[in-house]
Amino acid sequence: MSFTIDAEQAAVAGFDTMRLGAGSFRALQRMGITTPTPIQAEAIPALLDGRDVIAQARTGSGKTIGFGLPAVEFADPRLRNVQVLVLVPTRELAVQVAGVLAELGKDKGLTVATIFGGVGVGSQRLALRKGAQIVVGTPGRVLDLINQGALWLDRVRLLVLDEADEMLDYGFAPDVERIIARTTPDRQTALFSATVPDWVDTTASKHMIDPVHVEIPVDPDEAPVIENLAFDLPEGGKINALKDLLDHRGEGAIIVFGRTKRGVARLAQRLVADGYPVGALQGNMSQNARDKVMADFRSGVAPVLLATNVAARGIDVSNVEQVINVELPESPALLTHRIGRTGRMGREGQAITLLEPEDWPKWRKLERGFGKPIPRMPWPGAEAVVAGGLAEQIAAAPPAPSRGGSRSPRAGDGRDGRDGRGGREAAPRSRGGSAYGTSAGSGNGSTSERAAASRGGRPAQGSSSRRPVADVAPRLAPTPRPMGIEPRTVIVAEPRTRRPADSRPPRGFDAPDLAADSQDSAGKRQRSPRGRYDIVCSACGQHSIAPFQPDPSRPVFCDACFRAKQEERKLAGVRG
């Protein structure tokens, strides 16, 4: 069974129409909750009727009370057995959920035990021996206590997987499967999450009987106002852009997401050394250290939190004004959860993703699975980003004028020399790993062209993917920007003398030499599909050939030196 409801339908059914005990009503009154949210209005009656439930609703929609009230109703305080088990992916979420369930079950006399790693197991074993009726825990520690004989699940009436998409992911799935196998076969099972991919339904079908599917669409009037933007940066430009953003931060909190524990710890050390008030949260920390970091973050002592994906789950801080993705997550669902940390409780938020060239292929995949396009542009500086409104400026930007008398191009089709997202004119570069100039800043042309290439763009019909500069006198090439920022003027220098035709070109450049740009009888410029230019390697001083016109203001390298520099950068990244 599957159904979708809206907020008006959910508002018809209040808590007073549900079969709740007096203790639950008193707990709701004490917590200041009078009207159920849509997910609560549909999930609670289905669970009280004994049905299995798969519930999907956005972050902050009240899912915890949605399964917490049935859990309290099912648990019998007279029995000293575990009757409700709630599995969560992180320690922070375990503490948060356990706190809500303890408050709901206080008047009924229920005991809630919280079980997770990173702390001593003695107090957790003691809570189980005293007869806790509800257990909230992470899979690893729960499975350890089961194997030690300290936790028995043969009396469990309700099993809840909170953040089910991550609980059934490959990282947790083996432990979760073993835990489910230890529970009673006649239990109820509930899956709650903000995202429910198709593979979650497939996996859940093994453990659930005719589940009720509840999906709460986002009400446009209640949807969080989040400006979601992505910025292209040159190689190694993320740290400067991040510091620029932190220098222009407001009064709210900021979460900076990395991908690995080591990377987050290293970035935190660097920012602390530069005087930024940051704290780091990652899996290798002890629970006391994690608690201190979160206390400093919530109180504003350290308003910038650096975290791995562990912080995308279970951290409920309402005043996060910015989420900054320094490293990309592994899936669109994780990106959704990261973005959901901002724009909470009616506040506006901003989600910023920093992209270097190596991130572009992965970003394309994430963006396809995200559901809607994310505005992307070259880095304009933190002041313009924090001011807001960049997404609207990009959407309202007029298409660039046509060049060389050709027909007017469509936005983003590549014929106007832009990448479709407000990037600068693309400078020619080699596809085969040949010599080309190193990146000098976010405004260089080669960066924008690599961005267009990584997004899978194709050249227009009749044009070439390689665009040699004409053999003409130096000219001024305007660089349009769609954001109202003063453009720079790029001076295109006259190419150097080409290599004699009888010289043997280096490997990979066996195409015949082509003439420079010419003009037809109508005076329109005819662009040569390819050119070759003589260069002198900035590293070894040897002559070589490049398929583009070199920029005299930037170094250029032959094939061998360029490959050597790539290896040096890779080794430097490993050592770092």
Name the pLDDT band for 291 (thresholds 50, 70, 90): confident
In contact, 305 and 322? CB cutoff 8 Å: no
**Residue 412 contacts by C-beta under 8 Å, 6 or more apart in sequence?**
418, 419, 420, 421, 457
Sign of the Cα torsion 31, 35, 37, 40 reads positive
Buried b (16+ CB within 10 A) or exposed e, 414-428: bbbbbbbbbbbbbbb
Name the pLDDT band for 173 (thresholds 50, 70, 90): confident
Name the pLDDT band for 346 (thresholds 50, 70, 90): low
Q: Determine the pLDDT at residue 552.
A: 73
3-state secondary structure 125-176: HHHHHCCCCEEEECHHHHHHHHHCCCCCCCCCCEEEEECHHHHCCCCCHHHH
Q: Determine the pLDDT at residue 554.
A: 75
Q: Which of 389, 387, 383, 448 is nearest to 420 (CA)?
A: 448
pLDDT at residue 253 greater than cutoff 60: yes
Name the pLDDT band for 439 (thresholds 50, 70, 90): very low
Q: Determine the pLDDT at residue 191.
A: 92
More confident residue, 576 or 435: 576
Task: Over range 31-47, report the average pLDDT.
Answer: 91
Q: How many CB atoms lie within 10 A of CB 106?
A: 15
pLDDT at residue 454 greater than cutoff 50: no
pLDDT at residue 517 greater than cutoff 80: no
Predicted structure pTM score: 0.54
Task: Over range 526-542, report the average pLDDT.
Answer: 65
271-275, 390-394, 432-436, 490-494: which is most confident? 271-275
Task: Name the least confident of 156-160, 317-321, 431-435, 568-572.
Answer: 431-435
Cα–Cα distances in angstroms (integers) from residue 337 to residues 201, 267, 319, in the given order: 19, 22, 16
pLDDT at residue 153 greater than cutoff 80: yes
pLDDT > 70: percent of the chain = 68
Name the pLDDT band for 193 (thresholds 50, 70, 90): confident
List pLDDT tens digits, range 363-382: 988 888 777 788 899 999 99
Name the pLDDT band for 466 (thresholds 50, 70, 90): very low
More confident residue, 482 or 91: 91
Instruction: Give the homologous superfamily in CATH for domain 2-215.
Output: P-loop containing nucleotide triphosphate hydrolases (3.40.50.300)
Q: Determine the pLDDT at residue 251.
A: 84
List pLDDT tens digits, range 206-235: 889 999 998 887 654 555 678 889 999 999
More confident residue, 396 or 440: 396
Q: Which amino acid is at 256?
A: V
Task: Name the least confident of 46-50, 256-260, 283-287, 398-402.
Answer: 398-402
Q: Determine the pLDDT at residue 396.
A: 64
pLDDT at residue 530 greater than cutoff 60: no
pLDDT at residue 48 greater than cutoff 90: yes
What is the domain partition of the chain in residue ranges?
A: 2-215, 225-396
64-73, 202-211, 293-302, 567-576: which is most confident? 64-73
More confident residue, 556 or 506: 556
Q: Give the span between the Cα atoms of 165 and 170, in whole angstroms.
A: 10
Mean pLDDT score of the chain: 74
Q: Give the span between the Cα atoms of 415 and 435, in whole angstroms.
A: 25
pLDDT at residue 196 greater than cutoff 70: yes
Q: How many CB atoms lie within 10 A of CB 173?
A: 14
**Residue 453 contacts by C-beta under 8 Å, 6 or more apart in sequence?**
none
225-396 is classed in which CATH architecture?
3-Layer(aba) Sandwich (3.40)
pLDDT at residue 293 greater than cutoff 70: yes
pLDDT at residue 457 greater than cutoff 50: no
Q: Determine the pLDDT at residue 92.
A: 82
| Shared fold status for 2-215 and 225-396 | yes
Q: Determine the pLDDT at residue 516.
A: 39
Task: Over range 64-70, report the average pLDDT.
Answer: 94
Task: Name the least confident of 111-125, 253-267, 306-320, 496-510.
Answer: 496-510
Q: Determine the pLDDT at residue 45.
A: 93
In contact, 415 and 464? CB cutoff 8 Å: no
260-264, 285-289, 406-410, 499-503: which is most confident? 260-264
Task: Over range 174-195, report the average pLDDT.
Answer: 90
More confident residue, 278 or 342: 278
Q: What is the DSSP letter of 61?
A: S
Q: Give the span between the Cα atoms of 135 and 129, in whole angstroms.
A: 12
pLDDT at residue 400 greater than cutoff 90: no
More confident residue, 340 or 63: 63
pLDDT at residue 200 greater than cutoff 50: yes
Q: Determine the pLDDT at residue 464.
A: 37
